A and B are shown apart, each in its own frame.
Chain A
Amino acid sequence: MPTVTMTVNGKQRSAEAETRTLLVSFLREQLGLTGTHVGCDTSQCGACVVHVDGVAVKSCTLLAVQADGAEVTTIEGLAKGRELHPIQAAFKEHHGLQCGFCTPGMIMTAVDMLRRIPEPDEPTIRAELEGNFCRCTGYHNIVKAIKAASEAM
């Protein structure tokens, strides 16, 4: 079994993994980082979004071996100690979550979105969220939270 090594949230991590192990399984099961969720298993829902080498990707549609040597950031890597990332704080403030299952993916997508588009308007935010599903249909407050975060950042 190959040994996979990557920098996760700033720390170098290594573990053995089958070649067919998905990055999301590697993060959750080998590294114990269960903040990244598996929602659909068909590459559609975005609950598993993490950043690989600085860009948001679906970690259920990437093999762990493909991320060997990469820099990975998960939802656990956003807050600084007890201080929430501005987008996390905005989700809390604006009730951008109901059940919370989609939230890690939503926030990781939002961080990537604001990196590329610092001041998105509402239609842009909605278009950029095309790869993230919220089955509570709480999109309204998610959009509001991202808009507020963009103004705060």
Chain B
Amino acid sequence: MYEFDYHTPQTIDDARALLSGRDDPKLLAGGQTLLPTMKQRLAAPSDLIDLRKVTGLDGITGAGDTLRIGAMVRHAAVAASDEVRQAIPALAALAGGIGDPLVRHRGTLGGSIANNDPSADYPAGCLALAATISTDRREIGADEFFLGMFETALEEDEIITGVAFPVPRKAGYAKFPNPASRYAMVGVFVAQTGNAVRVAVTGAGPGVFRVPAMETALASDFSAQAIADISVPSDGLLEDLHGSAEYRANLVTVMAKRAVQSAL
């Protein structure tokens, strides 16, 4: 790991101020992706701005039909939260399946979505639930937030403060984890909110994406059978030593059916 300067601001304003006028500053949340990347010298920020002391980024609060989770809330806390398990059990299950217990004790919601790894779990949950991402300056809908591989709508010096999840009628998440990394080979989150259904896929493509054909079919018949014959084209899907694009395309339908079953 290369050297860097380390900062622990106490407020969002101080954190934002530290992000300006430096070579290549990076925000540090749980560090479960950033630190391994720095150890491999694939990233060499000039400054790490640790958000651990910043107030207002913590906490899980439910208010009627919305569940709000602070950006610095760890995966283990989401998985164990009575509030989340009651309001959106599929989201608690998603958080409880990220990485391993040790990673879940450090990794955060904000860190995960800011990184937008194409195989990360949270982007699928945010997109399917039509979550709203709050930052230090605005609110961004999930449809506008996730842009592509490791790419989001965030400005260089923008800081995620939390995510608001509308509470769905039903939701389910199913992933086929890579047996070594536990990242999703394919993960599908299905959510029924009102009469609309949203289906979001992670792991298969260069970024999280929705499957409109499945959404339409599930809106009129919310059953695994309704989407059994709907598949996504393999063009443009990820392809690596773990699986071909065709393999991943097939997994999308398999995991979508399992997600619907788990939501019933």
Instruction: Answer yes or no: are A and B bound together in one complex.
Output: yes
Interface residues of A (CB under 8 A from B): 2, 18-20, 22, 41-44, 46, 49, 55-58, 60-63, 65-66, 109, 112-113, 116, 128, 130-132
Determine if A130 and B100 form an interchain contact, defined as CB atoms under 8 angstroms apart: yes
Query: Scoring B residues 1 to 22 as 1 if CB is less than 8 Å from chain A, else 0, what string do you get?
Result: 1111110000000000000000
Question: A65-B50, A131-B100 provided; 8 other pairs, C-beta below 8 A?
Answer: A19-B5, A20-B1, A41-B39, A49-B102, A62-B35, A63-B31, A66-B28, A130-B182
* Contact A46 to B102, CB < 8 A, known contacts A41-B39, A62-B31: yes
Question: Which residues from 72 to 94 on chain B have a C-beta closer than 8 Å to any C-beta of chain A?
Answer: 76, 80
Determine if B101 and A43 form an interchain contact, defined as CB atoms under 8 angstroms apart: no
Counting CB contacts under 8 A, is B36 at the interface?
yes
B39 neighbours in A (Cβ, 8 Å):
22, 41-43, 60
Instruction: Work out how many contacts link A and B, with CB atoms closer than 8 A.
Output: 75
Counting CB contacts under 8 A, is B52 at the interface?
yes
A65 to B39, CA, bound (A): 16
Nearest-neighbour CB distance to chain A for B44, whole angstroms, equals: 10
Interface residues of B (CB under 8 A from A): 1-6, 28, 31-32, 35-36, 38-40, 48, 50, 52, 76, 80, 99-103, 105-106, 180-182
Determine if B103 and A42 form an interchain contact, defined as CB atoms under 8 angstroms apart: no
Nearest-neighbour CB distance to chain A for B15, whole angstroms, equals: 15
Determine if B6 and A65 form an interchain contact, defined as CB atoms under 8 angstroms apart: yes
A86 to B254, CA, bound (A): 44
